[in-house]
């Protein structure tokens, strides 16, 4: 059995910059204030919960030449990853141990994509080529790897909310096969009226949000083991014509333990009864506490799934729960889950994964 340890957590959210702000807001349980987001062509603005301006050490990260014109998603990615790695000095030192990078996105760098295509449509000859590199899905991973200076494995996974947990499974596979010594896995999204409008089409009443969450995974260290183990990632159950969203949620649920009154469950529910019904029904018999961070912070695709994993792992690290389950029932692609336990209670086997 190969143990996959979680050695760090990082977050950027509408609650602020850092895991502490995320934890405080979600445990408080009161939805954050909503700001109106104007949408061209719509008579009424759409609801959004923006990320506040960076401050302190987070603001100091963005002086790197690559980041001066970087889109918000790349900045969120870097800030969450650096926090998870233990700060700027520790983050750069981690590269010496062959640090892998996985970034998971749904919408990606929409700000610059929209601006670039808008310029192209208005005046093709005047469209700025400086914007184009920020339109590709791989931009955040590229910026992060360059800032860290790592030349180890690096990739971007694109999909619905379940892709973040698949990113954890991929990083665990790299560790099992000794392709890296550690890996930082980030889920990130950025705010834009275009994404807010798309979310509104999927589920009316959705409050758009953005940010990032990051976990650092590693094999057993030389010293005392860290306190959190990624015990498992379930199979990813595709949502198709032959497998409905409720069926995918039930099959994902069946691969996770029954749980007990002390174990936490962190779900992808947004506080929208119709949208949340499949996940709610799958977990209706859960005996322990249940958290729904996106009902408090807003819907943020892979950033939202990353917040779930950060909260689950952080609860185990702090001793608030002996174990914590993450349930992600995606918008339109997959249902997938994961479980974090205290060190000594379990480990991810070579055959496990999403």
What tens digit of pLDDT does each residue of 121-152 get? 788 888 776 666 777 899 999 999 999 999 99
Distance CA 317, CA 169 (A): 20
Least confident of 51-60, 172-181, 185-194, 277-286: 51-60
Distances (CA, A) of 251 to 136, 260, 352: 34, 20, 16
Structure tokens at 31: 């939805």
pLDDT at 352: 43
Q: pLDDT: is 84 or 44 the higher one? A: 84
Distance CA 240, CA 258 (A): 26
pLDDT at 203: 83
Helix axes 110-122, 193-202, angle to 10 degrees: 110
Query: Which residues sit opposite 156 in a β-bridge?
Result: 103
Go through the chain and tell me how many residues it has.
Answer: 354
- Read off the pLDDT of each residue in 310-325 and give the average, rounded to a whole number: 98
Look at residue 333 and tell me whether its pLDDT is greater than 90.
yes
pLDDT at 32: 98
- Read off the pLDDT of each residue in 70-80 and give the average, rounded to a whole number: 94
Distance CA 10, CA 298 (A): 18
DSSP 101-141: EEEEESS-SHHHHHHHHHHHHH-GGG--TTTGGGGSTTHHH
Distance CA 297, CA 28 (A): 11
Structure tokens at 346: 């379990």
- Read off the pLDDT of each residue in 167-178 and give the average, rounded to a whole number: 97
Q: HSE, CB side, 13 Å, CA atoms: give it for residue 302.
A: 31
Look at the alpha carbons of 165, 108, 159, 199 in this order and tell me if their dihedral is positive or negative: positive
Backbone angles phi, psi at 121, to 5 degrees: -70, -35
Q: pLDDT: is 60 or 233 the higher one? A: 233
Query: For the chain, which domains are there?
Result: 5-218 (3.40.47.10), 230-342 (3.40.47.10)
Q: pLDDT: is 101 or 89 the higher one? A: 101
Query: Which residues sit opposite 213 in a β-bridge?
Result: 11, 187
Q: Which H/E stretch holds residue 34?
A: none
Q: What is the reported pTM?
A: 0.93
Q: pLDDT: is 176 or 199 the higher one? A: 176
Residue 96: exposure state from Cβ atoms within 10 A (0-12, 13-18, ≥19): exposed
- At residue 70 the predicted structure's pLDDT band, cuts being 50, 70 and 90, is confident
pLDDT, the chain, mean: 91
Look at residue 276 and tell me whether its pLDDT is greater than 90.
yes
Convert the pLDDT of each residue in 204-225 to its tens digit: 889 999 999 999 999 876 666 7
Q: What is the largest CA-CA distance in the chain?
A: 63
End-to-end CA distance of the chain: 17
């Amino acid at each position: 059995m190969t143990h996959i340890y979680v050695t760090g957590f990082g977050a950027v959210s509408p609650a602020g910059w850092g895991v502490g702000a995320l934890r405080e807001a979600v445990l408080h349980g009161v939805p954050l204030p909503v700001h109106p987001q104007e949408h061209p062509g719509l008579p009424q603005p759409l609801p959004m919960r923006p990320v506040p301006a960076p401050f302190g050490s987070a603001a100091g990260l963005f002086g790197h030449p690559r980041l001066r014109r970087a889109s918000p998603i790349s900045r969120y990615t870097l800030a969450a990853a650096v926090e998870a790695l233990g700060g700027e000095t520790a983050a750069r030192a981690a590269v010496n141990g062959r640090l892998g990078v996985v970034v998971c996105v749904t919408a990606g760098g929409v700000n610059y994509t929209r601006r670039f295509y808008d310029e192209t449509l208005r005046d093709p000859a005047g469209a700025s080529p400086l914007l184009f590199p920020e339109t590709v899905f791989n931009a955040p991973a590229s910026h992060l790897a360059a800032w860290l200076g790592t030349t180890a494995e690096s990739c971007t996974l694109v999909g619905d909310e379940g892709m973040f947990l698949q990113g954890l499974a991929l990083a665990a596979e790299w560790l099992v096969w000794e392709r890296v010594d550690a890996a930082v896995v980030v889920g990130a999204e950025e705010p834009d009226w275009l994404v807010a409008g798309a979310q509104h089409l999927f589920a009316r009443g959705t409050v758009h949000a953005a940010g990032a969450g990051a976990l650092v995974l590693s094999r057993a260290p030389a010293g005392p083991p860290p306190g959190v183990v990624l015990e498992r990632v379930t199979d990813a159950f595709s949502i198709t014509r032959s497998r409905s969203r409720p069926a995918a949620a039930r099959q994902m649920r069946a691969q996770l333990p029954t749980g007990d009154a002390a174990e936490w469950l962190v779900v992808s529910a947004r506080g929208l009864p119709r949208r949340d019904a499949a996940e709610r029904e799958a977990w209706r018999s859960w005996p322990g506490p249940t958290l729904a961070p996106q009902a408090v912070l807003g819907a943020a695709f892979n950033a939202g799934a990353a917040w779930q994993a950060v909260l689950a792992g952080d609860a185990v690290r702090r001793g608030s729960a002996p174990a914590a389950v993450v349930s992600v029932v995606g918008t339109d692609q997959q249902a997938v889950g994961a479980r974090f336990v205290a060190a000594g209670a379990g480990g991810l086997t070579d055959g496990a994964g999403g």
